[in-house]
């Protein structure tokens, strides 16, 4: 399902249910139970959001660090060995495209082949002048710095919440909604308030899922930032087709490359010209 459905479709459905589900009452003190469940829900959600946000903020730094290191590597290559720049640029281009084709939480493991090719291509570069020899050490340092960065990215992109955790918070969220719906009296105002609170409960879960899965503000983190690499390489920006279709990125205002996968799982890259 598209991200738009979760952001807008499900909240609308919840709001409609607040008006169409028949009113009901419970035989026990709802307010006391709702207070206890809400408190436990807030504690658990607060913990998971805090932990996931810490990893997410660290991931932002690491993505920027990796992109900056790759740009530095290419710029140093132009000094060290101008004749090898095109091969290095091609290998970098293939790696970054492969990275953009995968979710942030999976791209490290799914780009090992492209990364190895980029590393081997850059490692084969040799100085062609005295100036190149002077900065060759910096070139090698930038190349080797990619390894610890990728290792840490692989660590911080692992999900904190798994089946048991989601079962607990989801059960609490459903219980909160059931208790909230019992407060309705049949008038539109009460139904609106209850619907809004139920929507807020759902959006909290959605927020945790996006932060934990590194899809929160994915457009800027995963896609837009990496376009700077293509700019330094002198190549058009690149976006996967599903990212455009699912509104995970803003529509580019300049010409760009679009990665498409056909029915036979064969990938093709075409150039899209913007008016």
Greatest mean pLDDT among 68-77, 149-158, 245-254: 68-77
Are 212 and 247 in the same domain?
no
Are 216 and 251 in the same domain?
no
Q: What is the pLDDT of residue 264?
A: 66
Are 183 and 111 in the same domain?
yes
Q: Which is nearest to 176 in space by CA: 13, 28, 31?
A: 31
Bridge-based pairing state of the strands 238-240 and 256-261: parallel
Average pLDDT of 17-35? 87
| pLDDT of 240 strictly over 70 | yes
Average pLDDT of 214-225? 63
The pair phi, psi for residue 197, each rounded to 5°, is: -70, -40
Are 146 and 10 in the same domain?
yes
Residue 106's contacts (CB-CB under 8 Å, 6 or more residues apart) are 157
| Whole-angstrom distance, CA of residue 174 vs CA of residue 198 | 9
pTM for this prediction: 0.79
Domain containing 226 equals 1-235
Q: Please, what is the average pLDDT of the chain?
A: 87
Are 207 and 273 in the same domain?
no
The edge-to-edge listing of strands for the beta sheet with 267-272 is 238-240, 256-261, 267-272
| Whole-angstrom distance, CA of residue 257 vs CA of residue 130 | 38
Q: Are 196 and 12 in contact (CB under 8 A)?
A: no
Q: Are 272 and 255 in contact (CB under 8 A)?
A: yes
Residue written as token pair 């990496």? 226
Q: What is the pLDDT of residue 3?
A: 67
Q: What is the pLDDT of residues 150-178, one digit of tens each?
A: 999 888 888 888 888 899 999 999 999 99
| Whole-angstrom distance, CA of residue 206 vs CA of residue 32 | 26
Are 133 and 71 in the same domain?
yes
Are 200 and 124 in the same domain?
yes
Are 223 and 273 in the same domain?
no
Q: What is the pLDDT of residue 221?
A: 56
Are 66 and 91 in the same domain?
yes
Q: What is the pLDDT of residue 201?
A: 93
Q: What is the pLDDT of residue 192?
A: 93
Are 63 and 107 in the same domain?
yes
Q: What is the pLDDT of residues 44-72, one digit of tens each?
A: 999 988 888 888 888 888 988 999 999 99
* Exposure string over 69-97, b if 16+ CB within 10 A, otherwise e: bbbbbbebbebbbeebbeebbebbbbbbb
How many distinct structural domains can be found in the chain?
A: 2
Are 139 and 272 in the same domain?
no
Are 176 and 84 in the same domain?
yes
């Amino acid at each position: 399902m598209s991200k738009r459905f979760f952001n807008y479709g499900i909240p609308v459905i919840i709001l409609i249910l607040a008006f169409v589900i028949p009113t009901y009452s419970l035989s026990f003190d709802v307010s006391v139970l709702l207070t206890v469940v809400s408190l436990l829900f807030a504690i658990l959600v607060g913990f998971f959001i805090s932990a996931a946000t810490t990893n997410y903020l660290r991931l932002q730094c690491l993505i920027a660090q990796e992109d900056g290191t790759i740009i530095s590597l290419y710029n140093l290559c132009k000094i060290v060995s101008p004749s090898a720049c095109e091969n290095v640029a091609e290998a970098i281009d293939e790696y970054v495209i492969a990275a953009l084709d995968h979710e942030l939480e999976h791209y490290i493991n799914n780009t090992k082949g492209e990364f190895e090719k980029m590393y081997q291509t850059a490692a084969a570069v040799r100085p062609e002048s005295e100036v190149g020899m002077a900065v060759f050490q910096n070139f090698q340092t930038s190349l080797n710095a990619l390894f610890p960065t990728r290792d840490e990215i692989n660590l911080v992109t692992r999900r904190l919440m798994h089946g048991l955790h989601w079962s607990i918070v989801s059960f609490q969220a459903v219980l909160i909604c059931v208790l909230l719906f019992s407060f309705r009296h049949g008038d539109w105002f009460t139904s609106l308030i209850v619907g809004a609170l139920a929507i807020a409960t759902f959006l909290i879960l959605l927020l945790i899922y996006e932060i934990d899965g590194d899809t929160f503000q994915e457009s800027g983190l995963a896609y837009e930032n990496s376009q700077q690499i293509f700019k330094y390489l002198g190549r058009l920006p690149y976006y996967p087709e599903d990212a455009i279709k699912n509104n995970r990125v803003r529509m580019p205002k300049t010409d760009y490359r679009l990665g498409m996968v056909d029915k036979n799982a064969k990938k093709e890259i075409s150039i899209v010209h913007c008016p």
